[in-house]
């Protein structure tokens, strides 16, 4: 039997790897098997296409390419220029942005590039101006002291972690919480929704240099027009981190007031999650910030990863196809169906439902912590992650919530009927799990876990993962 191109490519790659370190080849094969057999509901994960995955394993990995297209610090980067320019072109066209910077290695890196670009553009400091025009080794210790004082004493207002924000929006253990004098805005205690009047009040009182919008666990849309008006009212730069919902923007599910690109001064995102590309980040901005953004390397980034930029170009090209818009619509339809199925069975959801790709279950209604629920579900073949809920009494480690999302299962082809079955499986596990003697311990009948695991496998059997890839 002749093999198709995808099977041949991946089988050949594993054979080459196995000849050097068979344990790595085994782990790669095991990972594919595990992903094929489990209900992956982690909202930040997806399945990249074979073309995207293969674009990362090539000779671009051997290249150093500090600088930007046409302005490298190393010779011989003409092919890197080609793939970086293609990735940036696809990003600009896909999102309707004036400028795209595709070098960030991750979402955190993209946010760091954005923070420092804003600081360099906005902060009036003799030391900063000197740093921009002189070589680093020409700056005196006094220059550095003044620079640190200016750049480390600016204010940022972002969404709090327990309300659904990300740790890079000012969470204290993260570098963002150390770079900035930071304050958070939360959500309405009664509804779990953003109260824009309270955000505006906080902005007027705090007067931040940067107002950050975006989330990692907020199951609703954000009105970016209103947020921009708030930023403008206090003279703040408006930054949006759309890492989680970039695929919904690309697929034109979020338009008008809910599309951040026309409203924000600068937008960051990852290229995986709902965008379904390789692990990495990118930054979108207007021409006024483009020069500063393009200094991301060596400002805060190490050498670019040309093999990942090649994969970004492939994934962004895929996202410009008409079928991606259909995919994005199905993500949201599936999330609605999953939320409705859970509510119908008595689950308590933060905000009562969802407008996007994710659902946040308050598992305290089942008498559990997030950590107990996460592990019980994993035992049953359902992969999720624990997450804090607003005003979470269990903190950010144990939590009181479970965050689930539909991008990955939607990629596999599951629809709204399957989401209702998934809701039943989740509810069955959580309702039959009891807390143990600590916030991490729990009791779940292994027979029930095996039954749910079997049911999940039967559900997934009709939606094979990477059906064109046969590893033998």
Candidates 37, 45, 66, 420; catalytic one: 66
Give the span between the Cα atoms of 320 and 250, in whole angstroms.
8
Structural domain includes residue 389: yes
Among this protein's residues, is 345 annotated catalytic?
no
Cβ burial of 27 (10 Å; 0-12, 13-18, 19+) is exposed
Residues in a beta bridge with 349: 361
**Where does a domain end: 264, 296, 319?**
319
Candidates 40, 72, 276, 279; catalytic one: 279
Mean pLDDT of the chain: 93
Mean pLDDT of 223-229: 98
Candidates 187, 237, 270, 433; catalytic one: 270
Which CA distances in Å does 156 have to 178, 198, 264, 358? 11, 16, 15, 26
CB atoms within 10 A of CB 254: 24
Mean pLDDT of 203-231: 96
Same domain, 311 and 172: yes
> What is the structure's pLDDT at 381?
95
Contact 381, 39 (CB under 8 A): yes
Query: Could you give the 3-state DSSP secondary structure of residue 313?
Result: helix
Mean pLDDT of 321-328: 97
Contact 389, 396 (CB under 8 A): no
Structural domain includes residue 468: no
Among this protein's residues, is 470 annotated catalytic?
no
Same domain, 285 and 426: no
Cβ-proximal residues to 235 (8 Å cutoff; 6+ apart), any chain: 207
Bigger pLDDT: 302 or 233?
A: 233
Percent of the chain with pLDDT over 70: 94
Selection from 382, 353, 60, 95 nearest residue 247 by Cα = 95
Structural domain includes residue 331: yes
Among this protein's residues, is 270 annotated catalytic?
yes
What tokens does 21 get? 């370190």
Same domain, 263 and 131: yes
Which CA distances in Å does 271 have to 52, 166, 420? 11, 16, 29
Total domains present in the chain: 2
Query: Could you give the 3-state DSSP secondary structure of residue 154?
Result: coil
Structural domain includes residue 247: yes
Among this protein's residues, is 241 annotated catalytic?
yes
Structural domain includes residue 450: yes
Check pLDDT > 70 for residue 46: yes
Among this protein's residues, is 40 annotated catalytic?
no
Same domain, 307 and 340: no
pLDDT tens digits, one per residue of 369-391:
999 999 999 999 999 999 999 99
Mean pLDDT of 145-153: 66
Mean pLDDT of 430-458: 96
Structural domain includes residue 5: no
Note down the domain range covering 414.
323-461
Same domain, 154 and 92: yes
Candidates 162, 241, 340, 362; catalytic one: 241
What tokens does 60 get? 């671009």
Candidates 11, 18, 45, 64; catalytic one: 64
Same domain, 330 and 192: no
Same domain, 119 and 268: yes
Percent of the chain with pLDDT over 90: 84
**Where does a domain end: 319, 342, 370?**
319
> What is the structure's pLDDT at 59?
96
Residues in a beta bridge with 241: 214, 268
Mean pLDDT of 334-360: 98
| 263-272, 296-305, 455-464: least confidently modelled range | 296-305
CATH code of 454's domain: 3.90.1150.10
CA atoms within 13 A on the CB side of 118: 30
Handedness of CA 404, 197, 243, 256 (dihedral sign): positive
**Where does a domain end: 255, 290, 319?**
319
Structural domain includes residue 215: yes
Candidates 155, 220, 273, 312; catalytic one: 273
Mean pLDDT of 329-339: 98
CATH code of 92's domain: 3.40.640.10
> What is the structure's pLDDT at 147?
65
> What is the structure's pLDDT at 23?
98
Selection from 351, 374, 392 nearest residue 430 by Cα = 374
Residues in a beta bridge with 300: none
Same domain, 327 and 315: no
Among this protein's residues, is 84 annotated catalytic?
no
């Amino acid at each position: 039997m002749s093999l198709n191109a995808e099977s041949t490519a991946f089988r050949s790659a594993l054979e080459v790897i196995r000849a050097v370190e068979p344990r790595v080849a085994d782990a790669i094969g095991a990972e594919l098997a595990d992903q094929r057999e489990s209900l992956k509901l982690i909202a930040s994960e997806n399945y990249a296409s074979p073309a995207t995955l293969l674009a990362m394993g090539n000779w671009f990995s051997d290249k150093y390419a500090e600088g930007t297209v046409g302005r490298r610090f190393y010779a011989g980067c003409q092919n890197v220029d080609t793939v970086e320019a293609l990735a940036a072109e696809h990003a600009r066209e896909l999102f309707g942005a004036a400028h795209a910077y595709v070098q960030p290695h991750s979402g955190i890196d993209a946010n760091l590039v954005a923070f420092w670009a804003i600081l360099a553009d906005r902060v009036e400091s003799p030391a900063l101006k000197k740093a921009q025009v002189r070589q680093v080794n020409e700056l005196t210790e006094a220059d550095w002291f003044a620079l640190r004082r200016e750049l480390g004493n600016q204010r940022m207002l972002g969404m709090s972690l327990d309300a659904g924000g990300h740790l890079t929006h000012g969470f204290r253990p993260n570098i963002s919480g150390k770079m900035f004098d930071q304050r958070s805005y939360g959500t309405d205690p009664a509804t779990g929704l953003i109260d824009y009047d309270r955000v505006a009040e906080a902005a007027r009182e705090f007067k931040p240099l940067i107002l950050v919008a975006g989330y990692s666990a907020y199951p609703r849309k954000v009105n970016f027009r209103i947020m921009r008006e708030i930023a403008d009212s206090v003279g703040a730069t408006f930054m949006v981190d759309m890492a989680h919902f970039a695929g919904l923007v690309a697929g034109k599910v979020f338009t008008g007031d809910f599309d951040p690109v026309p409203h924000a001064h600068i937008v960051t995102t990852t290229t995986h999650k709902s965008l379904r590309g390789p692990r990495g980040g990118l930054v979108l901005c207007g021409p006024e910030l483009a020069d500063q953004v393009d200094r991301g390397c060596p400002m805060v980034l190490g050498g670019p990863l040309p093999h990942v930029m090649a994969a970004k170009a492939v994934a962004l090209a895929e996202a410009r196809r008409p079928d991606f818009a259909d995919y994005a619509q199905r993500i949201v339809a599936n999330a609605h169906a999953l939320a409705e199925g859970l509510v119908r069975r008595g689950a308590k959801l933060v905000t009562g439902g969802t407008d996007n790709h994710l659902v946040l279950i308050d598992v305290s209604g089942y008498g559990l912590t997030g950590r107990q629920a996460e592990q019980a579900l994993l035992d049953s073949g359902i992969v999720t992650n624990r997450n804090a809920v607003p005003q979470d009494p269990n903190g950010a480690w144990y939590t009181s919530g479970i965050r689930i999302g539909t991008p990955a299962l939607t990629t596999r082809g599951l629809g709204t009927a399957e989401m209702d079955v998934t809701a039943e499986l989740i509810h069955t596990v959580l309702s039959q799990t009891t807390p143990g003697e600590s916030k991490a311990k729990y009791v779940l009948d292994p027979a029930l876990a095996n039954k749910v695991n079997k049911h999940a496998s039967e559900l997934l059997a009709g939606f094979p993962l990477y059906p064109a890839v046969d590893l033998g």
